[in-house]
Amino acid sequence: MITDVPSSRANKPVTGSTVAMLSVKGRTRRKLNWSGWWFVGPFMLLFAVVFLAPLVYAIYLSLFRETLVGGNSFVGFENYAKAMVDPKFWDAMLRVTIFLLVQVPIMLGLALFAALALDSARLRWVPFYRLSIFLPYAVPGVVAVMIWGYMYGSQFGLVADINRFFGVDLPSPLAENLIMASIGNIVTWEFVGYNMLIFFSALKAVPQELYEAAEIDGAGAFRTIFSIKLPSIRGAMIIATIFSVIGSFQLFNEPSILQTIAPNSITSYFTPNLYAFNLSFAGSQFNYAAAIAIVSGIITMVVAYLVQLGGEKKEAKA
């Protein structure tokens, strides 16, 4: 624009190269417009404080080792090398992996079944059922574990009452061979409603024209489910699976609280997060606990990425 031309050059003829140069300068000025940061700045600041800063500090801690004699000294990746051969850490990681492979499919299957039932238009009182299924998710996790912990008790809770009333001796849900199933039951009870809402919302977004076309073609209820509904909500199922994978590797509240009433079944390294917590606050090994947390986070990211990659490939083939 002529108004952008400096006064010292106002009398010079405007050539093609001059116009091109002014155009480049104009684009540069537009690129340097910082007004957008007023909108994203608060989020970026909060993100840096609550996510990046703790992450950087944890990485910093993991590179040191504190001893009573030598104090805090830089050891590089020694804590990570120690984690790679730590049998307690890998035992905990194997346990949550088995938990993930068993509990997540059951939980997502129940959530999907509930969502399909609510979306079938064959049920009355859908808002009541939807709220009832979702209600456990509204219960704080600590309270949920305390409720189930009381019911699991073979000396004082529901299981004990059943044993006394019927004169039987049911296996204790807090026994070592059943504790994982008991924790899985609590997690499933808590999060079926949450995942059900994800699936139900996705089902409501399926275009009505697809149902009408299926009805014209004579498709039954099951054919409609497998040919229209499930392919249409594949993206929601991938997201729910990724969230569930991350949640499984972060398992902490349930074993931590149940440990007080089942100390012989839940060790200090029952899950990676519980192991890092006990190393840090019971063993004062802050540096090694930070390394355990970082390795656990990397493994979780890799598994979540592989799940997302597999889901995207299936969606691309569909």
Between CA 135 and CA 145 the distance in angstroms is: 15
- Pseudo-torsion of CA 34, 39, 41, 45, nearest 10°? 180
Domain of residue 98 covers 45-316
Write the pLDDT tens digit of every residue in 3-21: 444 444 444 555 555 555 5
Residue with tokens 């004169």: 167
Asked whether residue 28 is assigned to any structural domain, the reply reads no
The model scores a pTM over 0.85: no
Residue whose pair of structure tokens reads 């149940």 in the numeric block = 258
What is the CATH number for 63? 1.10.3720.10
Exposure of 184 in the CB half-sphere (CA atoms within 13 A) = 19
The answer on pLDDT for 169 being more than 90 is no
- Tokens 């849900």: give the residue: 173
Q: Cβ distance 308 to 318 under 8 Å? A: no
The tokens for 226 are: 């497998």
18 inside domain: no
pLDDT digits (tens, 9 = 90+) for 211-250: 889 888 888 888 999 999 999 999 999 999 999 999 999 9
| Number of domains composing the chain | 1
Q: What pLDDT is stored for residue 161 in this prediction?
A: 87
Residue at 109 is within a domain: yes
Residue 271 and residue 251 in contact, taking contact as beta carbons nearer than 8 Å:
yes
Structural domain includes residue 59:
yes
pLDDT value for 159: 87
Residue 15 falls inside a structural domain: no
pLDDT of 5 reads 43
285 φ/ψ angles, rounded to the nearest 5 degrees? -100, 70
* 131 assigned to some structural domain: yes
Mean pLDDT of 285-312: 92
Return the percentage of the chain with pLDDT > 90, whole number. 56
The phi, psi pair for 312, rounded to 5°, reads -65, -35
Q: How many CB atoms lie within 10 A of CB 295?
A: 20
For 192, counting Cβ atoms within 10 Å of its Cβ (0-12 exposed, 13-18 middle, 19+ buried), the class is buried
Cα 170 from chain centroid (whole Å): 34
- Average pLDDT along the chain: 87
- Give domain status of residue 67, yes or no: yes
- Please check the confidence at residue 195 and state whether its pLDDT lies above 60: yes
Across the range 188-198, mean pLDDT stands at 94
pLDDT mean over 114-135: 89
Helix, strand, or coil (residue 71): strand
Cβ-contact 233, 203 below 8 angstroms: yes
